[in-house]
């Protein structure tokens, strides 16, 4: 593992599709102490796209195997290629002696994830999972409210990652081939399950409903997951591409108050539009009109009396903390330099995969699965 040094960490990025170009490359380039050295893509168009943004000094490789031959020229491999490639590429990178970041889901099964964790431990190398939505503005705000005890004892946590996409887009993410590890359960489900486990701890049982709703769709596009946590909290998680009317992103119900938050963190949209961390504008900040609300016992009559909107929930406004995607790679840099801990461990990712596998079985068999 790289020791403490002032020399920038040289990063090889495998894949330059949505994940590589929108999330990883911009965040790597914006991280102090890191430099984007090589992008692995065989597409001339994607090479030109990357070169236009990150300069003529950026190097390219057609396949990951080209990186292992010059592993001594790199300090970190980031894997942002299709899901089915995560395990073999991560395995090869670790065997080449390189620390690794893998986009979620790290693997199709918890067993595969734990095998990778064991290999990383054996080699003494960092292996981390990119769970960027731990740094969403609303999630950070929920963590703050829980830490302060604002809501009392939490009874139920509702989390929705819903979209209205009535026509399938196609591609591997919507493939019905199990080898592709597609569908919303493993895509958006990886986010909402990870968040629930971070907030409320291990799961003891899982129930799920998973459907393919859209004509021509091959993979699940409308899924519900219910988790009972060892802490006693119940999490109700929704991921969908078929939601004509979107629900709140979060509804957290406690013994003293509840928190309701609509709308998505702005960072993904900003990255897609070409905005970058470190620009003069504040990063990850949303308008006050999108703040969530904290309160208890608010009636619908309050909505008609002025001031409060059913679109934001009743109670008092709760300022949303700024989103902080750049914090992930800052933490990776610190860990590689011996100054901090791995921000998302593979064992945490494996615990989430335990839940996803249980959810898949529950939906298929119509049973509650104990963990």
Cα distance between residue 21 and residue 272, in whole Å: 9
Pick the more confident residue, 171 or 327: 327
- pLDDT in the model for residue 176: 76
Per-residue model confidence (pLDDT) at position 366: 97
CA distance 336 to 339: 7
In this model, does residue 307 exceed pLDDT 70?
Answer: no
**Statement: 9-132+327-340 belongs to CATH 3.40.50.720:** yes
**Least confident segment among 215-219, 231-235, 242-246, 278-282:** 278-282
Segments making up each domain of the chain, as ranges? 9-132+327-340, 137-264+286-321+356-365
pLDDT at 278: 81
Q: Is the pLDDT of residue 4 over 50?
A: no
Distance of CA 103 to the CA centre of its chain: 8
For 358, the token pair is: 């249980």
Q: What's the pLDDT score for residue 301?
A: 47
- pLDDT in the model for residue 5: 55
DSSP-assigned letters across all residues of 73-88: G-SEEEE-S-GGGHHH
- Nearest Cα residue to 292 out of 155, 133, 137: 137
Q: How many CB atoms lie within 10 A of CB 122?
A: 9
Residue 334 scores a pLDDT above 60: yes
pTM for the predicted model, two decimal places: 0.92
Q: What is the pLDDT of residue 91?
A: 98
Give the mean pLDDT of 33-45.
97
Report whether pLDDT(312) > 80. no
Q: What angle do CA 39, 104, 360 make, to 5 degrees?
A: 145
Give the pLDDT confidence of 88-120 residue by residue, as tens digits: 999 999 999 999 999 999 999 999 999 999 999
pLDDT digits (tens, 9 = 90+) for 6-29: 789 999 999 999 999 999 999 999
Residue 180 above 70 pLDDT? yes
Write the CATH number of the domain with boundaries 137-264+286-321+356-365.
Answer: 3.30.360.10
Q: In this predicted structure, what is the pLDDT of residue 181? A: 84
pLDDT of residue 178: 84
Per cent of the chain over pLDDT 70 is 94
Residue 1 in this model has a pLDDT that exceeds 50: no
Q: Compute the mean pLDDT over every residue in the chain, rounded to the nearest whole number.
A: 93
Residue showing tokens 């010059």: 70
238-282 confidence digits (pLDDT tens): 999 999 999 999 999 999 999 999 999 999 999 999 999 987 678
């Amino acid at each position: 593992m790289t020791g403490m040094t002032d020399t920038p960490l040289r990063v090889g990025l495998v894949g330059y599709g949505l994940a590589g170009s929108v999330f990883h490359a911009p965040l790597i380039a914006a991280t102090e102490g890191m430099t984007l050295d090589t992008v692995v893509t065989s597409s001339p168009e994607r090479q030109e796209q990357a070169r236009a943004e990150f300069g003529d000094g950026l190097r390219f490789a057609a396949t990951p195997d080209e990186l292992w031959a010059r592993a001594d020229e790199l300090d970190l491999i980031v894997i942002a290629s299709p899901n089915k490639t995560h395990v073999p590429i991560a395995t090869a990178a670790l065997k080449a002696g390189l620390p690794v970041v893998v986009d979620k889901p790290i693997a199709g099964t918890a067993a595969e994830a734990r095998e990778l964790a064991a290999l990383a431990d054996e080699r003494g190398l960092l292996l981390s999972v990119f769970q960027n939505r731990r740094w969403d503005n609303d999630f950070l705000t929920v963590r703050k409210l829980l830490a302060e005890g604002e809501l009392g004892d939490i009874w139920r946590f509702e989390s929705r990652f819903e979209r209205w996409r009535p026509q399938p887009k196609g591609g591997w993410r919507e493939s019905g081939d199990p080898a592709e590890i597609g569908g919303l359960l493993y895509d958006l489900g990886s986010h909402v399950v990870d968040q629930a486990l971070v907030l409320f701890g291990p799961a003891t049982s899982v129930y799920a409903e998973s459907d393919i709703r859209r004509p021509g769709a091959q993979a699940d596009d409308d899924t519900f997951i219910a988790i009972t946590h060892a802490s006693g909290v119940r999490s109700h998680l929704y991921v969908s591409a078929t939601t004509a009317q979107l629900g709140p992103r979060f509804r957290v119900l406690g013994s003293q108050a509840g928190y309701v938050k609509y709308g998505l963190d702005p960072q993904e949209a900003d990255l897609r539009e070409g905005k970058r961390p470190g620009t003069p504008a504040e990063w990850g900040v949303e308008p006050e009109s999108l703040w969530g609300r904290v309160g208890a016992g608010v009636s619908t009559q309050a909505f008609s009396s002025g001031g409060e909107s059913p679109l934001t929930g009743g109670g008092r406004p709760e300022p949303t903390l700024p989103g902080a995607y750049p914090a992930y790679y800052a933490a990776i840099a610190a860990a590689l330099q011996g100054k901090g801990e791995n921000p998302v461990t593979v064992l945490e990712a494996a615990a989430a995969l335990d839940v996803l596998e249980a959810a898949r079985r529950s939906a298929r068999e119509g049973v509650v699965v104990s963990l």
